[in-house]
Amino acid sequence: MGTKIDINRISKDQFILVDNQPYRVLSYEHVKPGKGQAFVRIKARNMKTGNVTEITFKSSEKIELADFEQRFMTYSYSDGNYYYFMDTQTYETVGIPKEVIGDDAKFLKEGMEVVVFLDRGNPIGIELPKNEIYEVVETEPGVKGDTATNATKPATIETGAVINVPLFINVGDKIKVDTRTGEYIERVN
């Protein structure tokens, strides 16, 4: 049985159990209607199916935290269906289906250390570093002296993801990217 907490203490990225299904909290809002009881509306991703759902709880309810094991693992490679990670302590390799990895796949790069979440030994999700440095492999040439604020252009990074970058970024530049939003943070070289 997992730990139960007051629903008002919920926070983003917590794992909760609802109807015996593991969910990861993406966002939440406390709603106090003019009449009636206050409630908490949670947007959460089902860790087994990948579906995002809205769940509402009365503010007096308690919620069960999912009891997951978290292990640090290093990303090795993908064969298209599975992504393979090596446990940094046991050196054991774990294959995680691409459905479980979901959108995070576009920011995975070889050698990246991630947190793998296991539910009774089964991988149910990963957490990427909050930001990571990638090399730009394709973009329009940078424009010298172009300092237009907020003007961006698409750039493809080494993992194949396309993100918007400032106009002065060139192929070969290394840039820091927020892996949660896919946003450009800064040039690092």
Give 112-161 pLDDT, tens digit per residue.
999 998 877 888 888 899 999 999 999 998 766 655 567 899 999 999 99
Does one domain contain both 58 and 84?
A: no
pTM as predicted: 0.71
Does one domain contain both 50 and 84?
A: no
Q: How many CB atoms lie under 10 A from the CB of residue 14?
A: 17
Does one domain contain both 83 and 122?
A: yes
- Determine the Cα angle at 163 with ends 162 and 164, to 5°: 135
Q: Give the CATH number, domain containing residue 176.
A: 2.40.50.140
Quick: pLDDT tens for 22-52: 888 989 999 988 888 899 999 998 877 778 8
Give the residue numbers spanning the domain of 182: 131-187
Q: Bin 96: left if φ > 0, else alpha if -120 < ψ < 50, else beta.
A: beta
Quick: pLDDT tens for 44-73: 988 777 788 999 999 899 999 887 888 999
* CA dihedral sign, ordered 149, 181, 163, 108: positive
**Nearest CA among 44, 174, 177, 173 for reference residue 107:** 177
- Number of domains composing the chain: 3
| pLDDT score at 144 | 64
Give the end of a domain, one of 16, 37, 65: 65
- How far is CA 38 from each of CA 44, 64, 132, 166, 184, rounded to the nearest angstrom? 19, 19, 39, 44, 38
Q: How many CA atoms lie within 13 A of 45 on its CB side?
A: 17
Does one domain contain both 59 and 75?
A: no
Mean pLDDT of 150-173: 94
